[in-house]
Structure 1
Amino acid sequence: MNLSETNNDIQLTMVEILEFIWTLVDNTILIPQLLKANCVAFTLKWINMKELPFAIQRASIRLLYNMARHEKGCDALKGADALRLLQEFKQRTLDPTVDDTAYEDMRLLFSMALALLTEPKEIKSDAKSLRKVLDKLMQMTVNTAQKKNHKYGDFDISEPLVVFTKLFVHDDIVHYCVKESQVKNMKVPSKIAFFCDLVMQFRGALANDDELDQLTLTALMNIIWSISFHDDYVNELKSSAKFLITVKSLANDDGEAWVEQYVPKHMSSVKKAAAGILWNLDENNPG
């Protein structure tokens, strides 16, 4: 089927099907089942088509992003030459010199997918070239944090946080996000205070069976562990007694309440990250 030549009703049906699938695989545990249906090959074929309708382009990129959230999805996408095809799609469709707000969401999805598919050391570390993406990721995190269900639009708060865990291996990206990123409506005085407050909000993830809450806490602890390697931020991290008590309790947690949940292999466990934070802050006695 040539999707660029189908009528509007068929295109709408295709978009609805793709949206249903991407909603279904928001639960990353289901992604391996999607791979068995050869979804990688079909989706990459679609984004490789010229003049593909925008709605199908966006739905396809969203689906690729969701598949990239799982290690098996990453492996399947890499094996199908997804990085090259995505770069070609970017050059053909997401020209950064074109100021078209209709593509802003898709540009962000593309960047998130690319970050998840790329090994941390291979990710472009020039924060200046990534400013728009980093600003949008920070803003998305703030927006989702302020919602009662921690969702904003199509995104759960865990999604930008997991992407940050990959990006924060680069010092200049950490510094940009913490010091310079442009964020509106943040209700705390600093980005570090924002991340620390989120840890305290999600501390209860250990006592419930919400896998996304637990993934969020895992990502947050990895993010703060990355931040804690920088001397510039140690004093602020140590300034909150409540935060330190929370981290110490997490370092002692046995994890018995954790539900079965896929966690990307590039992230450390909450307990390990907590111990690392305490060590970096010279608070390595969790007792």
Structure 2
Amino acid sequence: MATNDFVNDLKSLSLSQSENVYIETVQRLSLRLKSATPNGLLEDKPFALSLIDNFYRIIPIFEKKLSNKNAESHATNLFLETLQNACRGVCLTDLFYSVKDPSHLKTIFQNYISLLKEDYFRDDNNQYDHLVTCLVALTGFSSLFIPITEANLPSNFLLYSLEFTKKNWKSEERVELVNYILTLIKSFSKKPLLVPTIIRHQWPHACIQWLTISGQRPSYNTDLHICYILQKLARCIFGVEVLNELNCVKSLIESKEQMKKDHNEKEYSNIDFIQSITYALLVESDEIKQNSLLADQFMCHILEQLVSVILNASQCDALIYRGFHITEGLVVLSKLFVNDEILKKCLKESNQLFDCLSQLLIRFTSEIPLNIQWVQDEILITLTNLFWSISFHQFSHEKFQSHTKLMIVL
């Protein structure tokens, strides 16, 4: 009933309402939103999804009300701030992961990405900041599990969002909006069809420039997302070429000292892991195959963290650990396994790893398919590549033979 009342109030908003009626309705919406989500949008998923399915409809009304500073714009901003707070500090990935219909996710994304007008990002008076923060947050998290091409984006979105981020990337007042924009670009950077567009608009150039700027670092989350974008781009051959041309590895190394100084131990550990993964992705396959990388303490450090992430992510329903989906670890491991020393080290030092990979392959070939097809496809392809590499080693044959179910699947 509370959800229906909220949605009905939301739908009732119009430009023809009197000032008093509009303000009373928006204030009632704010109270109901606070009551339904005291600990964030994940508190009540059905309510959150009903809100998301209808919120986009009233954005033109909110935009009009926010254009003038008065009692109506004040009430509107209070509601938007309440929604922004409900999005803060929760993993909205879990909310959108619970949506079983891929077409529903596509509809949500398209409803919100189309609303990200250039004017919102050109506004120097911050009058639209709460509105655009909510829109970018919902756009970013809904984009995670669907295919996206340049045709799905507003014209020049990657350009004006980059200009805004360059201007405000160290702004304390706009740090949350900046971080949601970076989160959105991080998601886009994982879409193969969008990588050339992201490169063309010089997002990797900007990220590397931000890494190498001297002086105090921005917020932890800003640094984290900058590193995430580079890591996602390094998954794609086009991204690898550009990042190596820009001396990305050198920039990552040079940024470490200041980051270690400005962020606490746990924060720096997370950033260090992402940078390590990026380093591994940028190393040429021939170099990985031919060199004795186990003499490289940095590479050994990467391997330990990588195996840990895969093992822990495999135990989570969403297959996510430390902000990394298991596919991230599997992709890197698949690249590193062309080196025989690395393969043997990982499998011999971690008896759990072979069992973990086996259970994952069995699971994703026997269970009901994931509602997110590309995730399922990536997991199966990467696991198949891993087992192909493993099968060439004599010591692994006994492991294969002892896993009857695995052999049947293979």
The interval holding the TM-score normalised by the smaller chain is 0.7 to 0.9
Q: Are 1:3 and 1:52, in contact at CA under 8 Å, matched by a contact in 2?
A: no
Partner in structure 2 of residue 126 of structure 1: 294
Indicate the SS of the match to 1:9. Answer: coil
For residue 387 of structure 2, the aligned residue among 199, 224, 228 is: 224
The superposition leaves residues 39-60 of structure 1 with CA deviations (integer Å, 9 ceiling, x where unpaired) of 1111111111122223322211
The alpha-carbon distance between structure 1 residues 131 and 17, as it changes in their structure 2 partners (threshold 3 A), is same
Q: Are 1:134 and 1:177, in contact at CA under 8 Å, matched by a contact in 2?
A: yes
Partner in structure 2 of residue 9 of structure 1: 173
* Correspondences of 1:197-212 after superposition (within 5 Å): 197-203=359-365, 210-212=373-375
Give the Å deviation of 1:106. 0.7
Any runs of at least 4 consecutive aligned residues in structure 1 with deviations exceeding 6 A, and if so which?
A: 205-209
The superposition leaves residues 11-64 of structure 1 with CA deviations (integer Å, 9 ceiling, x where unpaired) of 333222112221343434332222222111111111111222233222111111
Q: Are 1:108 and 1:136, in contact at CA under 8 Å, matched by a contact in 2?
A: yes
Partner in structure 2 of residue 113 of structure 1: 278
More off after superposition, 57-66 vs 203-212: 203-212
The alpha-carbon distance between structure 1 residues 90 and 226, as it changes in their structure 2 partners (threshold 3 A), is farther
Give the Å deviation of 1:104. 0.9
Paired residue type of 1:220: L
Give the Å deviation of 1:177. 1.4
Q: What is the root-mean-square deviation in Å for CA atoms of aligned residues?
A: 2.8
Q: Which of the pair has the greater relative contact order for Cα pairs under 8 Å at 6+ separation?
A: 1
The superposition leaves residues 216-244 of structure 1 with CA deviations (integer Å, 9 ceiling, x where unpaired) of 11111111222222211111112222211
Partner in structure 1 of residue 346 of structure 2: 177
Paired residue type of 1:161: L
Give the Å deviation of 1:127. 6.2
Query: Which TM-score applies when normalising by structure 2?
Result: 0.52
* Correspondences of 1:17-28 after superposition (within 5 Å): 17-28=181-192
Partner in structure 1 of residue 255 of structure 2: 89
Give the Å deviation of 1:125. 1.2
CA–CA distance in 1 between the matches of 2:179 and 2:286? Answer: 35
CA–CA distance in 2 between the matches of 1:8 and 1:213? Answer: 39
Give the Å deviation of 1:159. 0.6
Q: Are 1:127 and 1:173, in contact at CA under 8 Å, matched by a contact in 2?
A: no
Q: Are 1:127 and 1:172, in contact at CA under 8 Å, matched by a contact in 2?
A: no
Give the Å deviation of 1:128. 6.7
More off after superposition, 171-180 vs 118-127: 118-127
Partner in structure 2 of residue 143 of structure 1: 312
Paired residue type of 1:80: L
CA–CA distance in 2 between the matches of 1:17 and 1:2? Answer: 13
Paired residue type of 1:241: T
The superposition leaves residues 116-159 of structure 1 with CA deviations (integer Å, 9 ceiling, x where unpaired) of 11112324611671333222211211222112232234222111
* Correspondences of 1:60-75 after superposition (within 5 Å): 60-75=226-241
Q: Are 2:217 and 2:258, in contact at CA under 8 Å, matched by a contact in 1?
A: no
Indicate the SS of the match to 1:149. Answer: coil
Give the Å deviation of 1:191. 2.2
Partner in structure 2 of residue 102 of structure 1: 267
CA–CA distance in 2 between the matches of 1:62 and 1:55? Answer: 10
Paired residue type of 2:186: W
Partner in structure 1 of residue 213 of structure 2: 49
Give the Å deviation of 1:205. 9.0
The superposition leaves residues 178-234 of structure 1 with CA deviations (integer Å, 9 ceiling, x where unpaired) of 1224xxxxxxx6322221121111225996761121111111111122222221111
CA–CA distance in 2 between the matches of 1:153 and 1:206? Answer: 26
Give the Å deviation of 1:169. 1.8
CA–CA distance in 1 between the matches of 2:264 and 2:313? Answer: 26
Indicate the SS of the match to 2:318. Answer: coil
Partner in structure 1 of residue 202 of structure 2: 38
Indicate the SS of the match to 1:52. Answer: coil
5+ residue gaps, structure 2, are: 1-165
Q: Are 1:127 and 1:176, in contact at CA under 8 Å, matched by a contact in 2?
A: no
CA–CA distance in 1 between the matches of 2:278 and 2:359? Answer: 27
Bigger Rg, which one: 2
Paired residue type of 1:197: Q
The alpha-carbon distance between structure 1 residues 3 and 127, as it changes in their structure 2 partners (threshold 3 A), is farther
CA–CA distance in 1 between the matches of 2:285 and 2:367? Answer: 27
Partner in structure 2 of residue 160 of structure 1: 329
Indicate the SS of the match to 1:158. Answer: helix
CA–CA distance in 1 between the matches of 2:369 and 2:167? Answer: 50
CA–CA distance in 2 between the matches of 1:44 and 1:238? Answer: 47
Give the Å deviation of 1:112. 0.8
Query: Which TM-score applies when normalising by structure 1?
Result: 0.73
Q: Relative to total residues, which structure has the larger helix share, 1 or 2?
A: 2
Paired residue type of 1:166: K
